[in-house]
Amino acid sequence: MSAPIVDLSVHHQPTGVSDRIAYGFTKMLRFCADTFFAKRYGHRAIVLETVAAVPGMVGATINHLKCLRRMCDDKGWIRTLMDEAENERMHLMTFIEVAKPTMFERLVIMGVQWVFYLAFFALYLVSSKTAHRIVGYFEEEAVLSYTLYLKEIDEGRSKNVPAPEIAKRYWNLPEGSTLRDVVLVVRADEAHHRDVNHGFANELDGLPVDKARIAPSPYHDTGIKLAA
């Protein structure tokens, strides 16, 4: 399975206060990540994927509870968000085979999870539109970061090691696949999350949503058993 082509130019132009807050917050976090990780893309992927796997589960939980209370249809949002959360966790399980986090990074992951989960949950309750917009912007940055990771591999600064087994099973990659093939499908996943979340934010904002322009999700196994 080859990764779908990714449109790198997609950017939601911020309109209104909520979008500007979401964009400003994302750019501030980008600055922190760039300062902390510099070009250690394997480590960067591990730490940031532990964060990226949170919003989908929060959004799914809150929408699930809302649909139960209101006894209404979810229009497919819950399953989409749960698949996003699992997909991000599989990114983590893949990159943990490529790089090993330091003790300090493990401590950062624990601290950040407490703060980010609670803050994102609260934000989603107050403004789900802003929450999805933030994820859309996070994913724009993720597409950019994985593009830079590809450049590191192509220019020989990161070794193009064989693809981890778990990645080959999850994305159905052929034998002989490498880290480069994995980063390509991960980047395509991020582009899909980007467009889905900007689409959700637009829908909540009453703006038109062009579903045909959502980047396709690469094939992935939705029933993988990690212990298999």
- Residues interacting with Fe ion, by CB under 5 A? 49, 52, 88, 91, 139, 142, 190, 193
| Backbone conformation region of residue 17, classed left if phi is above 0, alpha if psi is from -120 to 50, else beta | alpha
Contact predicate 92/49, CB 8 Å? yes
Q: Which of 143, 158, 118, 119 is nearest to 215 (CA)?
A: 143
Q: How far is the CB of 36 from Fe ion (least distance, A)?
A: 17
Residue number with CB closer to Fe ion (6 or 52): 52
Q: How far is the CB of 109 from Fe ion (least distance, A)?
A: 14
Measure Cα distances from 141 to 10, 27, 224 in Å.
11, 9, 27
- Phi, psi angles (nearest 5°) of residue 140: -60, -45
Residue number with CB closer to Fe ion (121 or 146): 146
Residue with CB nearest Fe ion?
A: 91
Q: How far is the CB of 164 from Fe ion (least distance, A)?
A: 15
Residue number with CB closer to Fe ion (44 or 168): 44
Residue number with CB closer to Fe ion (93 or 108): 93
Calculated CA dihedral for residues 194, 99, 117, 225, nearest 10 degrees: 80
Q: How far is the CB of 194 from Fe ion (least distance, A)?
A: 7
